Copies of this chain bind each other. A is one copy, B any other.
């Protein structure tokens, strides 16, 4: 256990001043629940660590891919911080050996559960953040994720809003959205085109752009947003 704790601190590149906080990060709620004097467990740290991780990963992707649109960055981030990915990183640091588990949870194989490991790794990031500040947490996360950053950007499907909207309306209404040019105005060199888009259910959206193509894309994007709003109120 002592060896594993040493390896963990080497792997994350941070030596804790406050060992109590490291211990809390490594304590699963099942352990705390089983002891007569419940000690602190790592759920609060996981809440904070999730946000520490999200910012550090976002910042790294933002600077690595200066041309990437928001949607592509979001997609990359969600892969990097997914439960299986984090659990894998946790195992590499021998975090599974360090966690304090309740006996019940232990006997049910909790020590190797992805969700438990990924939560504990997030708690560790919060512990580093509280112990050493944002810079320390950033260093730690970069160290753990080194070699994991994607080399290149796979353009997400989401870029082409028109295609996505058409797929959706075909599926839902067995019909396509209809685009029409509603207006064009302004002098020749900075003409503005306004496009009207009508969904098969009659819902109307308008948008403008410096070309008809751009205006259509914007209109499709809006329509997708409206449809999403009706799905997740």
Query: Which residues of B are found within 8 Å of A47, using beta-carbon distances?
Result: 58, 62, 70, 73-74
**Residue interface bits A179-194, CB-to-B below 8 A is 1, else 0:** 0000000000110101
User: A41 CA to B194 CA in the complex, in Å?
Assistant: 20
User: A146 CA to B59 CA in the complex, in Å?
Assistant: 26
In the complex with contacts A33-B214, A36-B210, A104-B194, A70-B51 CB distance below 8 A: no
Query: Which residues of B are found within 8 Å of A103, using beta-carbon distances?
Result: 192, 208
Q: Which 9 A-B pairs have the closest CB atoms?
A: A104-B208, A51-B55, A51-B58, A43-B70, A134-B134, A47-B70, A33-B209, A55-B55, A51-B54
Let me know if A155 is at the binding interface, CB within 8 A. no
A-side interface size class: 35 or more
Let me know if A27 is at the binding interface, CB within 8 A. no
Query: Which residues of B are found within 8 Å of A44, using beta-carbon distances?
Result: 62, 68-70, 73
A:158-183 near B, CB below 8 Å: none
Whether A62 lies near B33 (C-beta < 8 A) is no
